């Protein structure tokens, strides 16, 4: 009788542990805010995301700074994607005005027109966008 109760207890514990595992989505949708200003930034950010194993889709908008992703959570996580984006010189914008800042060497490696930390360059890009809209 004791063996039967012990066996049933072990089986029940096994089922409860198994049911508590978090299921990982193979088509998880995520949005990351990434700093950048132009088409070259767009290509660099999307390429860095897509080179992360498990990322299936990545598209970044210069206007909203949103990087929309579809990823396999069984193969990657948001931190790995953020790390690859930081490595190519782009800052990650977090909630409440905080951000993950790319290393200076990585930021300095981006094209001179992509220096999104420089206020004058950002203003120049806004001017170009206005000229295109008027035509």
- At 73-129, the pLDDT tens digits run 999 999 999 999 999 999 999 988 899 999 999 999 999 989 999 888 888 877 554
Residue 133 pLDDT more than 50? Answer: no
Encoded tokens for 84: 């690859």
Q: Is 123 exposed, middle or buried (0-12, 13-18, 19+ CB in 10 A)?
A: exposed
- Residue 15 pLDDT greater than 80, yes or no: no
The residues spanned by each domain of the chain are 28-134
Note the pTM of the prediction, 2 decimals.
0.75
Chosen CATH of 28-134 out of 3.40.50.150, 3.40.10.10, 1.10.4160.10, 3.30.70.100:
3.30.70.100
Phi then psi for residue 12, to 5 deg, are: -65, -40
Write out pLDDT tens, residues 60-77: 999 999 999 999 999 999
Q: Do the Cβ atoms of 36 and 116 come closer than 8 Å? A: yes
């Amino acid at each position: 009788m004791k063996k039967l109760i012990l066996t049933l207890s072990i089986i029940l514990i096994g089922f409860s542990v198994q049911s508590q595992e978090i299921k990982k989505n193979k088509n998880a949708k995520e949005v990351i805010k990434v700093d950048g200003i132009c088409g070259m930034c767009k290509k660099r950010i999307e390429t860095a995301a897509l080179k992360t194993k498990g990322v299936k889709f990545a598209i970044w908008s210069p206007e909203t700074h949103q990087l929309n992703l579809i990823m396999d959570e069984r193969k990657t996580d948001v931190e790995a994607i953020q790390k690859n984006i930081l490595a190519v010189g782009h800052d990650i914008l977090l909630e409440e005005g905080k951000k993950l800042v790319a290393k200076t060497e990585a930021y300095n490696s981006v094209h001179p027109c992509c220096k999104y930390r420089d206020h004058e360059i950002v203003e120049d890009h806004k001017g170009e966008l206005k000229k295109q809209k008027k035509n």
